[in-house]
Chain A
Amino acid sequence: MGEKCESILSGVNDDRTDFKYVGTWDHPGRQSWDMISGVAVYPTDLWEEGTLTAMALHSPYGHAKITGLDTSEAEKIEGVKLVLTYEDEEIASMPKYRPSYYEFGASPLLGDEAEFEGDEVGVVVVAVNEETCKRALDAVKVDWEALPFILDAREAAKPGAPILRPEMNPDSNMTGNTFGAPVEWENGNVEEGLAAADHVAMIEYGRPMWSQFRSMPPAYFSYWANDPWGNPDGEKMCYVTNHAHFPSNGPIVSAYMGFGSHADKFRALTPYMASRYCDFVEKRGAQLAPLLSKRLGGVPVRFVNTRRQSFDAAVPQTYITGRIGFNDDGTLVAVQQRNVHQSGARGGYGDKTHGHLVLPPNAQAFKSTVCPNIYSDMAYYVTNGACTTADPGKDMWEPVNLAFAHIANALNMPITDVIMKNVKVTDPSLSACMDAGKKAFDWDGKWHAPGAKTLEDGRLHGVAARACWSMTWGMISYNINLRMGVDGKIYMPYAEALIGTYWPDAAQLVIAEEMGMKPEDVIVYYAPNYNNWQQGDAADRGSSVTWAAKEAAVQLKAQILATGASLFGVTPDEVDLVDSMITLKADPAQQMPIVGIGQLAVGYCGKPETPFQNDVVRTMNVDFCEVAVDPETGLVEVLDYVAAHDFGKVIRPASALGQLEMALTQAEGRALREELIWDENTGVLLNGNMYDYKVPTALDQPKIDSVPVESRMGGGAYGSTGVAHAHTNAGLVGLAIQNATGGDFITMQPFTPDKVLAVLAAQQA
């Protein structure tokens, strides 16, 4: 409360205030036309004459082992080109299958044990078409031994539960974090804190497995062909799509490791990747497609997965239980929490995300409050649900905001006041977001005590607010190469497939701004062989790429001016770049195009003097939500969302605000409908299709009001910072529902009619 943090602007022109392009609208994305028209080709769209189709056997059981396999009938079918089983020597020699970036338990690329229903296991076939593949798989005779399975992390944590991955942990289903251990953390003394508190409340929080729901089903396409750049040893080059947006984790690295080859023998075919919201899961086809193609002489192989088979990439279940202590003035004085997280059968990145923070995630967020006594422990438990992947960020703050809501209810205070009382560093960012957001939402006009307002149509009205940090995420995006071509244009290559955040277009604006170039003369382009790594695939990382782009642009500009000055016969100080022209400062009418003055290049690698975001949260955001609850059906409608987000500095408004709309629309879906549902008796996924897994439609999207705040406190160019991660907070809707009903908080997301009706029934009883 009331603490301030200092500006950390660093590097050249970070405090710039005159902007010609940065922060302005109407800069269509450089790939927009291709994406809109359908000219843009995604991995699912690849097809070449002679393409063969590959499919794997999928487990019908929640957990099972193959005890017998007979492929002889499948091999006889005309049109079947290749049948490989887990006994194939080359498959057995391939690197282990690691579906996720930091994954705790690898499995054989094609093994004899399936760890969830739908898992690719045992055999893969390649045939002239999909139909023949299906017939061949039907003809494979498989003997299965069904094994015990567990779908819920709490079940997996129980003593005596079947051990699902004894090779990883023979004693329990606990996988720990990246370091293989449960995490326990204490600050102060929680028992004493609770004993001294004026009030103690229990809090409970749960969320199901959400599908990461990439819009494109996993698609792997691979072929081997001559290297256009010439290969002295005559070895063919492998062309392959990847489906996880870290090149390091794609089939590329896996493949060259397996083939004893080098990374430069593999070329990505993936300029577009479609939405990849922290979904790092690769299917086995990623490694199998290059292998199958190689075995068949390099012909194109299309490894087919259906939409249903993409539902195994999920945000893990999380259960948090605990106690909070607070005083009459609304101050939080003690927090005690236990986190039970789920890892899927082969779970992953979540471990790493939370693990590298060392603290349990919510402890990390509680550390940002004034609360002196915090205890939290956390462990991951393996289940047979799916591969899990990261959903970093907002989960750190959801329990904090739930605690704030309990305090607000108990003391009949608006939650906004509780937030301002308890978050340690409030200035400048949090205060600015709170003020701007309250105004845009009309918080003072709309807030009421829980259960106190009914709308004219009979529905219960509720509002809530929540705070969260805006992550900088700036650790790996500081490599930029810039080149001025003889055509007088500035080129910036990148190697990341696009997932929809427009970060190259933001970099383009910053480069144009710093250099004095017209934006259309700055060409940011996809270069699949460009070996630069991790420039800015995610929304939050995009801000840090802009910082390096700015530094590189300033250096390249200096080179251009040095050349231009000599052509004018003046010193570099006497010229400038204006609208892509070298311009004499003393007489701006005297201009010279940079076309043909030569080729200049700059490689820049460096970081701003920004400490990795840890305890001090410089940039914050506050979201507000208004709901209507139908007391007779339990149906909840989100009427209004306001997101007051401190962007630090908005670089490209169209995409910056678009990120908020994306995250809040996802939040609406997760809050009200989305969850993966398995049959408890068989472990079979029940809702793996787009009718039963309910992604919001155009009619479900709530009204969203994005309120940009610019504190210039972030780690990107001009103090910019990340956007989207913070806002996929389903929990906020739950707080608003409680404000509407005045009843209990619903302890498990999503907030479906059955749960809302149960709260209302309990109130009447």
Chain B
Amino acid sequence: MSNVSRRDFFKAGGLAGIAAGVAGLGIGSVLGVPEEAVAQTVTVTDFVYTCPVCGSKTTDYDSLVKHFEEAHPDASCGIPQCATLTINGNELKVQVEPQWTLRETLLRATDLHGGTKEMCDRGGCGSCTVLIDGVPALACTTLAVQCEGKVIETSEGIAADERYRPLVEAYAKADAAQCGYCTPGQFTVAKYIIEKYGEPTEEQIREELAGNICRCGTYSRHVQAITEAAAAMKGGN
């Protein structure tokens, strides 16, 4: 892992993997998505460490610390930190300020931009839900520094997981997304529901999704999609 640059790393197992997954799963042809449209959603950047005081850039953490100690000896915010996060099965060392939430960190320090959406940013809507050690958690209300040593899954990772292909397909078929903004959060909880209950009832699905706000009122479509997917997965597709 240490010899692989971030860029290569993502090509190997991150977002590019999802793009390949989409094409590989035949979704491109089913949905009529031109290949280049998928490619447009894949952006890969090298991680750059940024000084929180002046914005100077460095390419590695040690240089950042050196810069910080030289340039800002009196800064009130303390030396910038970094953390190793396990996201969708990949270990990732990134800069993390102590006050950064997991949502902010995913946005700024990884290329997983769209899986945790900011709707309320106060824990009241569920749009930023990820799974931490398999359990739903709000990325807007979780500090990234608290996530070291834990297993983080985002909607991107779940969607790229071959086992959860029936769930994505059922979601697409049911129009469970209307405007799509809350959907990754709901979809992430959906994985948890299927893991927890096997074949959940409507009541269980609604109870478990009750922290995820959808302004488009798609709730019954989630019930439909999760029920269908759970049955398909139980039957081994």
So, do A and B actually touch in the complex, CB under 8 Å?
yes
Give the CA-CA distance A40 to B114 in the complex, in Å. 6
| Contact A32–B120 (Cβ < 8 Å) | no
Please name the residue on chain A nearest to B122 by beta carbon. Answer: A689
In the assembled complex, the CB of A275 is this many whole angstroms from the nearest CB of chain B, namely: 4
Q: Is B94 an interface residue (CB 8 A)?
A: no
Please name the residue on chain A nearest to B206 by beta carbon. Answer: A698
A-contact 0/1 string along B19-58, CB 8 Å cutoff = 1001000010111111001100110011010111111010
From B15, B55, B168, give the contact of A33 (CB < 8 A). Answer: B168
List A33-57 residues whose CB lies under 8 Å from chain B. Answer: 33-42, 44-50, 52
Q: Enumerate chain A residues within 8 angstroms of B12, measured Cβ to Cβ.
A: none
In the assembled complex, the CB of B216 is this many whole angstroms from the nearest CB of chain A, namely: 5
List A212-262 residues whose CB lies under 8 Å from chain B. Answer: 213-217
| Contact A36–B32 (Cβ < 8 Å) | no
From A36, A276, A502, A704, give the contact of B159 (CB < 8 A). Answer: A36
Please name the residue on chain B nearest to A37 by beta carbon. Answer: B159
| Contact A690–B113 (Cβ < 8 Å) | no
Q: Is B143 an interface residue (CB 8 A)?
A: no
| Contact A33–B27 (Cβ < 8 Å) | yes
From A49, A213, A274, A519, give the contact of B48 (CB < 8 A). Answer: A49
Q: Is B227 an interface residue (CB 8 A)?
A: no
Q: Enumerate chain A residues within 8 angstroms of B158, measured Cβ to Cβ.
A: 37
Q: Is A131 an interface residue (CB 8 A)?
A: yes
Q: Is B142 an interface residue (CB 8 A)?
A: no
Q: Enumerate chain B residues within 8 angstroms of A217, measured Cβ to Cβ.
A: 118-119, 121
| Contact A38–B112 (Cβ < 8 Å) | yes
Q: Enumerate chain B residues within 8 angstroms of A132, measured Cβ to Cβ.
A: 52-53
Give the CA-CA distance A690 to B119 in the complex, in Å. 9
From B127, B156, B205, B210, give the contact of A215 (CB < 8 A). Answer: B127
Number of interface residues of A (CB under 8 A): 78
Number of interface residues of B (CB under 8 A): 85
| Contact B221–A34 (Cβ < 8 Å) | no
Q: Enumerate chain A residues within 8 angstroms of B77, measured Cβ to Cβ.
A: 131
Q: Enumerate chain A residues within 8 angstroms of B18, measured Cβ to Cβ.
A: 37, 39
| Contact A307–B119 (Cβ < 8 Å) | yes
Q: Enumerate chain A residues within 8 angstroms of B181, measured Cβ to Cβ.
A: 42, 215-216, 272, 274-275
Q: Is A471 an interface residue (CB 8 A)?
A: no
Q: Enumerate chain B residues within 8 angstroms of A665, measured Cβ to Cβ.
A: 216-217, 219
List A614-665 residues whose CB lies under 8 Å from chain B. Answer: 654-655, 658, 661-665
List B188-225 residues whose CB lies under 8 Å from chain A. Answer: 205-207, 209-222
Give the CA-CA distance A215 to B32 in the complex, in Å. 27
With contacts A658-B221, A662-B217, A689-B122 known, is A29 near B172, CB below 8 A? yes
| Contact B31–A29 (Cβ < 8 Å) | yes
Q: Is B178 an interface residue (CB 8 A)?
A: yes
Q: Enumerate chain B residues within 8 angstroms of A689, measured Cβ to Cβ.
A: 120, 122, 124
With contacts A32-B177, A38-B116, A47-B113 known, is A666 near B215, CB below 8 A? yes
Give the CA-CA distance A639 to B19 in the complex, in Å. 43
In the assembled complex, the CB of B45 is this many whole angstroms from the nearest CB of chain A, namely: 6
Give the CA-CA distance A37 to B180 in the complex, in Å. 10
| Contact B206–A33 (Cβ < 8 Å) | no
Q: Enumerate chain B residues within 8 angstroms of A95, measured Cβ to Cβ.
A: none
| Contact A520–B172 (Cβ < 8 Å) | no
| Contact A691–B122 (Cβ < 8 Å) | yes
| Contact A36–B168 (Cβ < 8 Å) | yes
B-contact 0/1 string along A514-530, CB 8 Å cutoff = 00000111111110000
Give the CA-CA distance A489 to B29 in the complex, in Å. 12
Please name the residue on chain A nearest to B213 by beta carbon. Answer: A695
A662-B178, A666-B217 are known; give 5 further A-B pairs, CB within 8 A: A131-B77, A520-B31, A664-B217, A689-B120, A690-B122
9 pairs, A vs B, C-beta closer than 8 Å: A26-B173, A29-B172, A31-B180, A37-B160, A49-B48, A306-B121, A489-B34, A689-B120, A689-B124
Contacts from A to B (Cβ < 8 Å): 26, 28-42, 44-50, 52, 78-79, 81, 128-129, 131-132, 213-217, 272-277, 306-307, 489, 498-502, 508, 519-526, 654-655, 658, 661-666, 689-691, 695-699, 701, 704
Name the 8 nearest CB pairs between A and B, nearest first: A665-B217, A35-B180, A38-B115, A500-B179, A37-B159, A500-B178, A128-B55, A28-B172
